[in-house]
Structure 1
Amino acid sequence: MTDDLGPLRQAMSELSEYGGTADMYERALRKSRQSQRRMAVGTGAAAAVVVFAIGATVAVATSHRPDPSTPPAATPTGDRSQDPGCPSAQTLGTLVELPAGWSFAPTGVECVEAWAAADVRRPDTTGVSYLFHYTAGVGWRYHDQGVEWSCADLGLTQPASFCTS
């Protein structure tokens, strides 16, 4: 076999004179800068999403938080004219469903700060009290039933007959 590649070599030589050199450096630099821009935009977008998520969580949490103000200090219901915030036994009766034969005692409701306690009459002779808590914007809500509670656990700064110091 003969090697007749002379015309092909001649054609390639002529083409190389007109084609110039391939410049891969500029193309690599352009791709690198494009990748850097994409990374910066992606990082910025991710940071914005995180900031927005934290801000939205804080906004929702603070909007559902009860008002920090508490009602004025309360007194027993015998002196209702000085404390309109202390609920009556009838009002508290609408918040809980007492078992059959039970009723709130006529002794009234004792209120101290944001807490109210009402004695309950039962068929047996054992005493029990129902404890209610007041939250601004929500109102009075049932909290617990029992004989006495810890004033410190309730956050009371004033003495109350329904709790111990």
Structure 2
Amino acid sequence: MTDNLGPLRQAMSDLSEHGGTADLYERTLRKSRQSQRRTALTTGAAAATLVFAIGGMVAFATRDRPEPPTPPGSASTSDGPQNPTCPTTQTLGTLVELPAGWSFASRAVDCVETWAAADVQRPDAGAVIYLFHYTAGTGWRFHDQGTGWDCKDLDLTEPASFCTS
């Protein structure tokens, strides 16, 4: 039996001419991009895990901490035991910057519930009142200036000298 491989070789040669070359470049780029995405995703997940782990440790370590001490300068003034966190005019002076020539009046700060009012003297006009509000966690903050406020708008249940109604 004689093997006649000539036609088979010719057929294979014809197929190779029409098939082109194998393009490995595109497949290499696709795999490289896939590897980059996996690396970025893994790095991001590791970073997020680290942040949550540190946050959890801090929360665990600080959960049994006692409350911070009362800041200096927040001694009681005219309201006595009803409002032990009523600030002094020196404390309020650190919260706002008064214009040149303006100053807090020498009389005590008027505190009602979580509100404090201090008279401010102006050289060119009459007195104006600065109103401050206390919020747990943030402390005293400047709220407004004027000559009086509606107690209902401030959610006050007690009468206050700085309220107009």
Normalising by structure 2, what TM-score? 0.51
Contact 2:83 2:112 (8 Å CA) reproduced? no
Say which SS state the counterpart of residue 98 (structure 2) adopts: coil
2:94 equivalent in structure 1: 94
Distance 2:107 2:125 in 1: 16
Distance 2:82 2:144 in 1: 26
Task: Please list, as runs of the form range in 1=range in 2, the aligned pairs for 1:101-116 lying within 5 A after superposition.
Answer: 101-116=101-116
Say which SS state the counterpart of residue 91 (structure 2) adopts: helix
In the superposition, relative to structure 1, how do residues 154 and 81 fare at CA in structure 2: closer, same or farther (>3 Å)?
Answer: closer
Task: Give the root-mean-square deviation of aligned CA atoms.
Answer: 1.7
Distance 2:157 2:119 in 1: 22
Say which SS state the counterpart of residue 90 (structure 1) adopts: helix
Distance 1:77 1:101 in 2: 25
Distance 1:119 1:162 in 2: 10
1:154 equivalent in structure 2: 154
Say which SS state the counterpart of residue 107 (structure 1) adopts: coil
Pairing 1:120–2:133 present:
no
Contact 2:89 2:109 (8 Å CA) reproduced? yes
Say which SS state the counterpart of residue 149 (structure 1) adopts: coil
Render the CA deviation track for 1:62-96: whole Å, top value 9, x for unaligned.
xxxxxxxxxxxxxx823556643000000000000
In the superposition, relative to structure 1, how do residues 80 and 124 fare at CA in structure 2: closer, same or farther (>3 Å)?
Answer: farther
Say which SS state the counterpart of residue 78 (structure 2) adopts: helix
- 1:125 is displaced (CA, Å) by 3.8
Render the CA deviation track for 1:32-89: whole Å, top value 9, x for unaligned.
xxxxxxxxxxxxxxxxxxxxxxxxxxxxxxxxxxxxxxxxxxxx82355664300000
- Give 5+ residue unaligned stretches, structure 1: 1-75
Say which SS state the counterpart of residue 105 (structure 2) adopts: strand
In the superposition, relative to structure 1, how do residues 161 and 87 fare at CA in structure 2: closer, same or farther (>3 Å)?
Answer: same
Report the identity percentage.
Answer: 71
Distance 2:119 2:86 in 1: 15
Contact 2:83 2:111 (8 Å CA) reproduced? no
1:129 equivalent in structure 2: 129
- 1:140 is displaced (CA, Å) by 0.3
Distance 1:77 1:92 in 2: 13
Say which SS state the counterpart of residue 131 (structure 1) adopts: strand
Say which SS state the counterpart of residue 144 (structure 1) adopts: strand
Task: Please list, as runs of the form range in 1=range in 2, the aligned pairs for 1:1-165 lying within 5 A after superposition.
Answer: 77-78=77-78, 80=80, 83-165=83-165
Render the CA deviation track for 1:129-159: whole Å, top value 9, x for unaligned.
0000000011000000000000000000000
Distance 1:158 1:81 in 2: 15
